[in-house]
Structure 1
Amino acid sequence: MENFVSMKSLSKSELLHLIKRSDEVANGTSQQQNQTKPLFVANLFFEPSTRTKMSFEVAEKNLGMHVLDFHAETSSTLKGESVYDTAKTFESIGADALVIRHPEKGQVSHIAESINIPVINAGDGAGEHPTQSLLDLYTMYQEFGSFNDLDVLIVGDIAHSRVAKSNAYALQTLGANVYLSSKADWQDETLDFPYIDLDEGIKQCDVAMFLRIQLERHEKKESIESTDYLKRYGLTVERERKMRKHAIIMHPAPVNRDVEIASELVECKRSRIFKQMENGVYTRMAVLEACLKKEEPSYGTHYHTVFTPARASIS
């Protein structure tokens, strides 16, 4: 794997291999390859981040890599240096890979096409967030063991969410049924997935994934009244009680408590929100290995069903 930029471009076998590799890392059964030369990875974050940046750093250090940290606010970008020239600088001084987050959609893929070392997309505006998607997929795999006909409901600010896009593409590739729910002006009609009523969908889904409101990406700034939003579009205690017995709650975080999800549900028994964060380290280790250590995947033999809930597709 040369780069990791988009879930849309990955095959089912590639996704399953990365999920399996994440599971091996999580369970301590992965075989680490001997590295004769130190590997240097630069984390180029042009946008704020806590979970993604820190979990990448933990993943890199767990793999014995040297982290070249970068702070946009103290870098030469303030002197007018372009993102491309910044990336070329790190390539020139010996970085073996770049992890890039940028507020502009498509910027990361542009860099990946222009330099000669692996590029990993840590989020590009409202474009995609493939490593977040991978950790979400692994969390679902841990729960259900299979994606075939899994009913996944993604709820919230779809139009501005890179997480929604990456997950929708990847889940479709893996055989899941993806449904979207959103207020009308936050829908993204470029995504070819059905929009359904939240109260109907919540009763029938296996996974309910709620999204943060991406106010920083809205062209038209609006004031969100948290109580009203939670009641109309969020996960209330009343809605949670209507979920199927085996269904789980997910959120890419940061969570705005009592806006997208009632605060008491963030750490309830159904919630996998903090499990997602834990899994972010394992899945990012798997991606870094795939991009940097040039491992040859063995596809197909690891994909098994450990639990298949009784369910009917949402209509």
Structure 2
Amino acid sequence: MTTATAIWTRRHILSLMDFSVTELDAVLQTTTSLRDVLFRRMKKVPALQGQVVTNMFFEPSTRTRSSFELAAKRLSADVMNFAPGSSSLSKGETILDTAKTYLAMGADIMVIRHQQSGVPQAIAAEMDRINSGVSILNAGDGLHAHPSQALLDLFTICRGLDPENPRCELLRGKKIAIVGDIMHSRVARSNIWSLTTAGADVHLAAPPTLLPEGFREFATDAAGSLKLHWDIEPALKDADFVMTLRLQHERMTAHLLPSLREYHQRFGITGDRLKFCQPDVKVLHPGPVNRGVELASDVMDHPALSLVSEQVTNGVAVRMALLYLIGSSKANGSLN
């Protein structure tokens, strides 16, 4: 991990759009080292002892919030959790003033999740303006980005190719299909940036209402490639990995699908559909899963096909790595 922290220069993690292969590999290397902690008898290291991590989740979350909280505690950080329903936001306080309140209580790292795009960036800009030294980690903002989810997906895929040494070069020439509600998915956007930067060939598949033409511009100048499909078979043909995405009804403002039954018939991932893929194909899903809609239950529960449970485990390790990289660099005074 010494090498990883030596090259790490980011105070904030807001998006993967401008991440380099070197930075992605630093996350993979650090995650590999820290993942072992989760399986020790004493599941804790003193890496962030004395630092305060504040989880500010303005929208509901189970996996991401619990994962960040556990990751911080595994690194021996002190954790403060923000609950919007019982906060002063209901009395008219602004989001920036709420963040400054936690700053005054000693926060070193703020993990921000918000239903509106740009909120983590706005808080980061304000923290930098007042020279607070606080780091901001985007845990998902609107339709914009979800960097920690994409990084855990990247780690899960690379670890499937080489458990001992997950690294970006393993993805060169690999075909990865992303299927589902791509238009409303911040996970899809972040995965497109990270996977194509690593050199993978990414194929998007969804009904036209959930996959606008504009997504072609998401991988310009990347080492890998990006292709769009409005039928699922070309996307799945010879795919090495298939990532399914949840239909996000809460973000849909119009009737974009005739029915869930028809969606499953045309784009649901089933055992029969996976026959188009490579024989050793693996399936991922960021969760929560609508069983029988995006993903058939027998596929999700299949030990040889599904990486869904491993994604959850790896999520804690990746978030430990992100907190460690930011926190250790802050402690060493190496961030500007």
TM-score, normalized by the shorter chain, greater than 0.5: yes
Residue type at the aligned position of 1:18: V
Look up the match of 2:15: 6
User: Is 2:328 aligned against 1:290?
Assistant: no
Look up the match of 2:237: 203
Deviation at 1:247, TM superposition (A): 1.1
Look up the match of 2:145: 128
Greater length-normalized contact order (CA 8 Å, ≥ 6 residues apart): 1
Residue type at the aligned position of 1:64: S
* 2:34 aligned to which of 25, 29, 39: 25
Given that 1:206 and 1:247 are in contact with CA atoms closer than 8 Å, whether structure 2 keeps it comes out as yes
Aligned residue for 1:153, secondary structure, equals strand
Q: Distance in 2 between matches of 1:238 and 1:246?
A: 14
1:104-156 deviations in whole A, cap 9, x for unaligned?
01111111111131000000011100000010000011112411111111111
Aligned residue for 2:79, secondary structure, equals strand
Tell me the number of residue pairs that the alignment of Structure 1 and Structure 2 aligns: 295
User: Is 2:106 aligned against 1:94?
Assistant: yes
In structure 2, the gaps of 5 or more residues are: 1-9, 163-169, 217-225
Aligned residue for 2:171, secondary structure, equals coil
Superposed counterparts of 1:78-89, under 5 Å: 78-89=90-101
1:2-53 deviations in whole A, cap 9, x for unaligned?
0111011211100111011101111349x96666x61111100011101000
Given that 1:180 and 1:195 are in contact with CA atoms closer than 8 Å, whether structure 2 keeps it comes out as yes
* 1:155 aligned to which of 175, 179, 197: 179
In structure 1, the gaps of 5 or more residues are: 297-315
Superposed counterparts of 1:1-315, under 5 Å: 1-28=10-37, 38-115=50-127, 116=132, 117-145=134-162, 146-192=170-216, 193-196=226-229, 197-221=231-255, 225-268=259-302, 269-294=304-329
Residue type at the aligned position of 1:53: R
Given that 1:226 and 1:258 are in contact with CA atoms closer than 8 Å, whether structure 2 keeps it comes out as no
Aligned residue for 2:143, secondary structure, equals coil
Aligned residue for 2:272, secondary structure, equals helix
Deviation at 1:83, TM superposition (A): 1.3
Given that 1:215 and 1:221 are in contact with CA atoms closer than 8 Å, whether structure 2 keeps it comes out as no
Look up the match of 1:310: none
What TM-score results when the alignment is normalised by the length of structure 2? 0.83
Task: Quote the sequence identity (%).
Answer: 36
What TM-score results when the alignment is normalised by the length of structure 1? 0.89
Given that 2:246 and 2:290 are in contact with CA atoms closer than 8 Å, whether structure 1 keeps it comes out as yes
